[in-house]
Amino acid sequence: MGNNKIISDEDEKKIRAMRLGDKNAILWGLKCTGLHYRINAIACAVMYNITDDDIIDSIKELKSETYTSIGTSASGCAYAALDILGIEKYAGDSREVKRYLNCKFDFYKDFVVKAQEMKNKS
């Protein structure tokens, strides 16, 4: 039986670092080409209320991203994140963005808590 890993161990470590609030890892995730990385990074920036210029500039760049998968896009997450972080008020009517605004990325807290628990065990 082969290896069924979708992402490398190194990428997994970086995602864990994002979930622990590591700004360099979050910036890395924002600049990755994969939607999974970008959404994780945006959610972490919101969870940790990170408004550093380089992070915000990278999130702003993702507003023009067009790729969507399962009703989710980096663009929708970016618009919502910028509003939640108090950077740019969202005035559009996208259902996706409104979903994120309503929940304030609350669904992501479980991932953050799990990453913190794993860190405490090591």
Average pLDDT, the chain: 92
pLDDT of residue 5: 67
The structure's pTM equals 0.88
Please state the domain count of the chain: 1
CB 31 within 8 A of CB 90: no
- Residue 39: domain span: 9-115
pLDDT of res. 43: 96
Give every CB contact of residue 85 below 8 A, 6+ residues apart in sequence.
45, 46, 49, 50, 51, 56
The answer on pLDDT for 1 being more than 60 is no
Residue at 3 is within a domain: no
Residue 40 belongs to a domain: yes
**Residue 105 resides in a domain:** yes
Q: Which residues pair with 68 in a beta bridge?
A: 73
The answer for 72, left when phi > 0, alpha when psi is -120 to 50, beta otherwise, is beta
Does residue 18 sit within a domain? yes
The average pLDDT across 30-39 equals: 94
pLDDT at residue 113, as a whole number: 78
Best CA proximity match to 39, nearest among 114, 90, 99: 99
| Mean pLDDT, residues 66-85 | 94
User: Does 121 reside within a domain?
Assistant: no
